[in-house]
Amino acid sequence: MTFQSTDTYVATSDLSLAVNAAITLQRPLLIKGEPGTGKTLLAEELARSLQTRLITWHIKSTTKAQQGLYEYDAVSRLRDSQLGVEGVNDVRNYLRKGKLWEAFESGERVVLLIDEIDKADIEFPNDLLQELDRMEFYVYETDETIRARHRPIIVITSNNEKELPDAFLRRCFFHYIVFPDAATLEKIIAVHYPDIDKALVDEALAMFFQLRDVPNIKKKPSTSELIDWLKLLLADRIPASALRERDPGKAIPPLYGALIKNEQDVQLLERLAFMHRRQSR
């Protein structure tokens, strides 16, 4: 079973190799890359192409490692015991299973996505070392060890907001999604908009790469922004010719709101356009 590009997702050769190596050697795969290059999408597509379930654990700044294993709700048990509710004797009724537990006890091999691990506290990855390594953890309340019946395929994404500890990195395979080149981008666009006008794609891509090449731009537009922008261009029926008459004096592309998300960048482009107008005079 190998992972390759699907009809909805374009995977470069090094990305499919990374995924296949992680599956074969049963290691977590850590994915980094510019925002909008399809890190989260990868896990979804992987689950789809392996025809299995995707379990997603979204990490927030308040997430604790224990929440991924289980939580013991002592308060409801205490309250239930006073009201004499049925089943209060069994502690199992008051253990809330976390995403890791869910993945471990699944009857088939699932894909577990730990999304944006860098959002959590700086010690968070260290608290998961043992669980990811051995794929088991110990439940104190019931005195039992939960072992993975089928080792899940673990995909971890990070946006580089915090550095991850070395001990954690040692246990992962690491892949950095490079920003796709023009040929790959064309493939990606073809996947999203199969019957788009070729001329429009060419012009839009030229303009898009020009924009990414502007020095000192704060937030470079990425793949997902390009897809959104094309959708707008299509919806507004903007012809390829409108993009072609590129007057350098007008550096701002039409419907730029989908591409540029930062007002400083808009100002930068306006300044560049202004300087260009003054020079050409």
β-bridge mates for residue 177, sequence order: 33
Q: For 10, how many CA atoms within 13 A lie in the half-sphere containing its CB? A: 19
Interface with another protein, residue 13, by CB under 8 A:
yes
Q: What are the tokens at 57? A: 């654990």
Interface with another protein, residue 280, by CB under 8 A:
no
User: Applying CB under 8 A, which part among 19-27, 50-58, 100-108, 239-247 lies near another protein?
Assistant: 19-27
Q: How far is the CB of 262 from another protein (least distance, A)?
A: 14
User: Applying CB under 8 A, which part among 137-145, 161-169, 188-196, 237-245 lies near another protein?
Assistant: 161-169
Q: Where are the beta strands (DSSP E) in 51-162?
A: 54-58, 70-72, 95-97, 111-115, 136-139, 144-147, 153-157
Please give the residues from 199 up to 228 whose contact with another protein meets the rule CB under 8 A. Answer: 213, 215
Which residue in the block uniquely carries the two structure tokens 């290059």?
37
Binding mask 120-139 for another protein (x = CB under 8 A): --x-----------------
Q: How far is the CB of 191 from another protein (least distance, A)?
A: 19
Q: How far is the CB of 181 from another protein (least distance, A)?
A: 4
Helix (DSSP H) and strand (DSSP E) numbers for the chain: 12, 9
Per CB under 8 A, the list member of 7, 60, 82, 281 interacting with another protein is: 82
Q: How far is the CB of 105 from another protein (least distance, A)?
A: 27
SS3 147: strand
Q: How far is the CB of 215 from another protein (least distance, A)?
A: 6
> For residue 267, what are the CA distances in angstroms to 135, 204, 273?
51, 21, 10
**43, 49, 50, 54 alpha-carbon torsion, rounded to 10°:** 40
Q: What are the tokens at 25? A: 């050697």
Per CB under 8 A, the list member of 108, 136, 147, 176 interacting with another protein is: 176
Give the binding site for another protein (CB under 8 A): 13-14, 17-18, 20-21, 24-25, 27, 30, 32, 75, 78-79, 82, 122, 161-166, 169-170, 172-176, 178-183, 213, 215
